[in-house]
Structure 1
């Protein structure tokens, strides 16, 4: 298999995506970007970013029927925060993919 080379901009964007995404994992970000997790780990290490074990799971089903209004409010606020983080992640990934598509379109020789 041929070794892939990535632009410096793509590397910086991938590192920034990891930094700016709460709850993200190296494996999750690498899978989303279509790169090996070891590659992303090396980029993070080179950028001086500490790789931490982060929970990557989604929240479960809504709470029990007998929860108090305060508990429901706390649960819903946590869910809103999670959805906002997902939206930021998706927006960043979209921007990275657009930049990658633009880069590779310029590389094409028809």
Structure 2
């Protein structure tokens, strides 16, 4: 079949395996491979996590900057 489609056998095997995982014929949860849906969700969650970390870092730096402005000058008693 792979030869007829002009693709490597390994590619066809990967597609068949992923289709079986997506249909629930093979374990796609827990320790095994992810379903296409789980993989898409993982990509989205990682993207959101990256964005939230950037926001957290920004607000941490902004808070430090504004806190510094509130301190009395050095040597002021």
TM-score computed with the length of structure 1 as normaliser = 0.36
Higher Cα Rg, which structure: 2
Which structure has more helix as a fraction of its residues?
Answer: 2
